[in-house]
Structure 1
Amino acid sequence: MFGFLKRRRLPADKRPKLGPDERVVAWAVATGDNVVVATNHGLWLPGVEQRLGWHEIHKATWSGRQLAVVAARELPVGDEEYAVVADLPPLLLTLLDPDRVPEQVRVRVNKSIAHTSHHPLDEITGVRGGVRVVGRRVPGVNGLCWTVRYDEDVDPQATGVAEQTHELVAWARSGVGTAS
């Protein structure tokens, strides 16, 4: 009678292995008989064994048919206060039936960001470029997780860069009022 109120169901054979407190919020049919599944914790992509957390997505764009997702990878630089990250190549997904996936990606990535600020490094270190300091909410983690992303031409090993970055992260953490 009320067919328009019917909810789409994710086929059981396409359902990823969800965590104990994870639930599906949207899913989309993609090319090649694949699906993209958005949950309260992140995005499950075709051919990937584990989800990409909302806090791991640096940028996502929707063109009306194609979803481009830029995730971050952690670099072996930094300290216990924050992680240094860099962008991975964009993942391009053609969604044949996008449903609410693009909206959920936008809302949940934005919602994960509690603090973001960009700072030039050349004033103190003489290094051209800057650093973006980001505090993000991560499901199941108390407090914020902090990351820094250096501009393309910045060498994190250059003299004074690590010290200034540490000060900027400490400043951002105190401004947000969190102890994590």
Structure 2
Amino acid sequence: MKLLDRLFRRDAPPVTPPLDPADRVVSWATTAEAVAVASVHALWLPPKKGVSDQEWHRLGWHEIHKAVWRDGSLVVTPGVEVEPGVVADGAVRRLRLPDPRDLPVQVRERVERSVAHTEHHALSGGGGVRVVARRVPGHDGLTWQLRFDDPADRSSDAARAEAEVLLDAARATHEPV
């Protein structure tokens, strides 16, 4: 192993997820169960504890709503598309990292880099909506999403109409000139 690799901890993980040829490992850490890997395009989570035949779980950076490093654990909340252009929080994954290396830093930086626009708006009928634009590897332009504070607002015609106006306004500010 090269000296610079050791200094910057760029050694290879003990197991590697099935990366695309254009992807590469940028960080990894051992969890209580296995290994979590950050690549250029995604966070690769190990199978859930007690599920031996499960494959790696890939979360593109644009699919992660929140990633928090707290009390020795990386807590990842993915976004789930509940209908076209509307996302909600998915099942939270908590990874205990006895030796986190630089994985939490890489996750935070890459999730933040995927966000081109984020703005929370109060809705006139109560509640709120977040308008988000994300950069998706291999996809030209931005991917726009709405994330309602209260899932019930997704069913409200008035809240949906107001959110669509806010989305259109945000898109107009990010159109290429």
Structure 1 counterpart SS, 2:157:
coil
Instruction: Identify the residue that residue 25 of structure 1 maps to in structure 2.
Output: 26
Q: Secondary structure at the match of 2:162?
A: helix
CA distance in 1, matches of 2:29, 2:117: 30
Q: TM-score, normalised by structure 2?
A: 0.86
For 1:86-97, what aligned pairs fall within 5 Å after superposition?
86-97=88-99
Name the CA distance, whole Å, in 1 between partners of 2:90 and 2:156. Answer: 23
Separation in structure 2 between the aligned mates of residue 65 and residue 171 of structure 1, nearest angstrom? 40
d(CA) in 1 for partners of 2:141 and 2:107? Answer: 22
Name structure 2 gaps, 5 residues minimum.
48-54
Q: Deviations over 1:125-165 (max 9, x none)?
A: xx211110000001111100011100126421212222222
Structure 1 pair 30–164 and aligned structure 2 pair: CA distance change class (3 A):
same
Counterpart position of 1:103: 105
Return the letter of the residue paired with 1:89.
Answer: A
- Cα deviation for residue 110 of structure 1 reads 0.5
Runs of 4+ in 1 over 6 A off after TM superposition: none
- How far the C-alpha of 1:50 sits from its partner, in A, is 4.0
> Structure 2: how far apart are the matches of 1:59 and 1:67?
10
114, 117, 123: which one aligns with 2:116: 114
Give the equivalent residue in structure 1 for 2:11: 8
Whether the 8 Å contact between 2:127 and 2:153 is mirrored in structure 1 is: no
The answer on 1:66 being equivalent to 2:73 is: yes
1:15-62 per-residue CA deviation (whole Å, 9 max, x = no partner) reads: 100012111100101112x00000111100011534101111111111
Distance 1:99 1:167, change over 3 A: same
1:38 is matched with: 38
Q: State the 1:178 CA deviation.
A: 4.3
Distance 1:66 1:177, change over 3 A: same
- Identity among equivalent positions (%) equals 44
Find the counterpart in structure 2 of residue 84 from structure 1.
86
Number of equivalences: 167
Please say if residues 5 and 11 of structure 2, whose CA atoms lie closer than 8 Å, have aligned partners that are also in contact: no
Would you say the 8 A contact 1:129–1:154 is kept in 2? no
What whole-Å deviation, never above 9, does each CA across 1:85-129 have from its counterpart, x for those lacking one? Answer: 11023210001221110000010000111101111221xxxx211
- 2:100 counterpart letter in structure 1: P
CA contact (8 A) 2:86 2:145 kept: yes
In 2: Cα distance, 1:154 partner to 1:71 partner: 20
**Aligned equivalents of 2:173, 2:18: Cα separation in 1:** 38
Q: Is the 8 A contact 2:153 2:160 kept in 1?
A: no
- Name the SS of the counterpart of 1:51 in structure 2: strand
- What secondary structure, in the 3-state scheme, does the structure 1 residue paired with 2:86 have? strand
